[in-house]
Chain A
Amino acid sequence: MSLEVVESGMLSTVQDGGRPGWAHVGVPHSGVVDPSLAAVVNRLVGNPGDAALIETVGGLLVRATGPLTIASDTEPVARTVRAGDTIRVPLGGRQWHYLSIRGGVVAEPVLGSRSTDTLSGLGPAPLAAGDRLSAGAEPAEAPHGETVPVHHVVRPARILPGPRLDWFEPDVLEAMELGRWRVTTSSRVGVRLSGHALARVDGRELPSEGLVRGAIQVPPDGDPIMMLADHPTTGGYPVVAVVHPDDVSIVAQTTVGGDVTFRLVR
């Protein structure tokens, strides 16, 4: 049984836990942008939390070719669909949505992962109309019987001092805490924010250095960029702060045009 893609919408891909452990040879981590939400949507259908599922910005329309058990964050309950039934994942509400199939999405693993890496091109191609996604073997776990609330958490995201804090004005983190930050662009690589420009006191060129998910890089224009799942393994802009791993999805799930705030923890 499979799901046929009718409309692929705004960037729909297959994602799982990604490719940890290869950053030293330039392979991005990749994987789901919002691991905790993806895990909830997977567990609704009885899958392990990091099973391969569909991640989409929205506008996705799929049609079942036979009976399947599915769940999404917009309809967070396991349900069975039959041949011909269509499932739509709309745009909006949050930036990244998930649609799981009981048994997981079948795709060829690359370096141990079925994730589409939009930066390096590793993994399956982004979904396109006409693609068919098959379900894997039945998991032992039964589908979850009840609806699970999956609200988008709106609270300040915790930030910690970054490695290149001393390249900025001494009160830069306090300024980040006081400001409201608008999401201007959002991709699987990173989220660009605009509030007030973060001024550097050190104008040197930074030799490229390793990055993590949640690292906030500041390019010369002063508008910070938070790194996400497909971030490059190294970058040449100073990292002023790092968003706590548990709060990265607060920023990542804010839709373009929305605001985020930060709370400094040390």
Chain B
Amino acid sequence: MRILPMGPTAVLVEELPAPPASVATALAERRLPGVVDIVPAASTVLVTVDRTGALEAVVAALEGGIDAAGSEGGGAVVEIPVVYDGDDLDDVAALTGLTVDAVIRLHAGASYRVAFCGFAPGFAYLEGVPTELHLPRRATPRTRVPAGSVAIAATYSAVYPTSSPGGWHLLGRTDTVLFDVDIDPPALLRPGVGARFVAT
């Protein structure tokens, strides 16, 4: 594990002993005083505190070792019903050498877990995409991807919580609400939470 500086009130941690989401969950469970945000990302965890002195306890906890076992999102698995009629299904089939049916079967047959969130409130990067479906982003991003779009890019799948520009391959759509500020917690897919897509 490497602890990198991010100013007087934050550290960035990499070379983690467990997936970033698991380390973040385990660290959050310590409820260290002064901690504001614990942000897992692709291979790092950022920890921010509200005052300079609070960072010492965070660094001590990290150096003392984080037991990330059992911090896998509590085993919750969210089922997301999907209508597989996305605009990029044919392109994805062509690029992967698979039939459209095989693309859908592979995507809906896999088990996913939220690696981290970012890009927009409630936008979760889901890992678990079958290797046959790993593709770089579209060469030309769309200026508008509708809310509820189910998509893949690189090793991740995601559901767009709101309409936004985006460069992912669109496989389908869901009516499931991903982010609602009036619900506690507001994000359905939080780091560590499991997910499955169900073709409807």
Contact = CB atoms under 8 A, between A and B. Distances in A.
A252 to B, nearest CB: 15
Of A25, A232, A244, the most chain B CB neighbours within 10 A belong to: A25
Contact of B118 (A29, A111, A164, A233): A233
B168 to A, nearest CB: 14
Contact of A122 (B8, B121, B123): B121
A212 B37 CA distance: 10
B40 to A, nearest CB: 7
Interface stretch (A44-52, A93-101, A190-198, A203-211): A203-211
B122 A21 contact: no
Highest count of chain B CB atoms <10 Å: which of A210, A232, A234: A210
Nearest to A207: B42
B42 A23 contact: no
A26 B119 contact: yes
A160 interface: yes
B200 to A, nearest CB: 26
A110 B7 contact: no
A17 B181 CA distance: 18
Contact of B45 (A110, A122, A210): A210
B41 to A, nearest CB: 4
B4 to A, nearest CB: 4
The DSSP consensus for interface residues of chain A is loop
Interface in B1-51: 4-10, 12, 24, 36-46, 48, 50
Interface of A: 20-27, 29, 110-111, 120-122, 160-164, 207-212, 214-215, 232-234, 239, 242-245
A212 B46 contact: yes
A209 B41 contact: yes
A21 B36 contact: yes
B39 A210 contact: yes
Contacts of B42: 207-209
B37 A23 contact: yes
Interface string B184-200: 01110011000000000
Nearest to B21: A24
Contacts of A20: 36-37, 50
Contacts of B119: 26, 232, 234
B7 A215 contact: yes
Contacts of A164: 4
Contacts of A29: 37
B71 interface: no
B190 A245 contact: no
B120 interface: yes
